[in-house]
Amino acid sequence: MAVIFHPRIWFLLVALACASMLAYGLYVQHVLFIDPCPLCVLQRLAFIWIGVVALLAFIHNPGKTGRWVYTSLFVTGGVVGTAIAGRHVWLQNLPQDQVPDCGMGLNYMLETMPFAEVLSEVFHGSGECAEIDWTFLGLSMPNWTLLWFIGLTVATIIVIAKASKAKT
């Protein structure tokens, strides 16, 4: 059975996809003037993690065992990103009367609070995270990032599993 994508090529495509999504996020922020909420910033960090892991895997081009090491790091970022995006989608779908009040900005929280408390506050959510400022094909940006996190993670596991079974 032929491998659909060689793992090295797959990791390059993933790194390019992550770079493209991050570049588009910066375009939305700096050209369309839609500032990211704290959960958006955390999703960006997860895409940075996945993109860097994928780029390192592409450059290193490891054997079977090394591929699984990179894949486990990749999946860690994918699961974290999925959890963050899932929470964000959940906040956006709350009834209006259940949306949390807007809280402090992320920069202010990072400057004045311990990191664990900042994470707790961010995941609790705020009103700004429930706002939908951008949609494409009827889905908000957190919906799209959720789909990308799930899709990239599942597809990476499939590509690596197929490559491990093949004689490469």
Element (H, E) at 136: strand 135-136
pLDDT tens, 63-72?
Answer: 888 899 999 9
Q: Are 91 and 125 in contact (CB under 8 A)?
A: yes
Q: What is the pLDDT of residue 50?
A: 97
Residues facing 140 on adjacent strands: 135
pTM above 0.85, yes or no: no
Q: Are 156 and 14 in contact (CB under 8 A)?
A: yes
Instruction: Residues 7-165: name the CATH superfamily.
Output: DsbB-like (1.20.1550.10)
pLDDT tens, 34-64?
Answer: 888 888 888 999 999 999 999 999 999 888 8
pLDDT tens, 87-144?
Answer: 888 888 877 776 655 555 666 666 777 767 766 666 665 556 767 787 789 889 999 9
Q: Provide the angle, in degrees to the nearest 10, between the axes of the packed helices 38-60 and 115-124.
A: 110
pLDDT tens, 12-38?
Answer: 999 999 999 999 999 999 999 988 888
Q: What is the pLDDT of residue 1?
A: 41
pLDDT tens, 154-164?
Answer: 999 999 988 88
Domain boundaries in the chain? 7-165
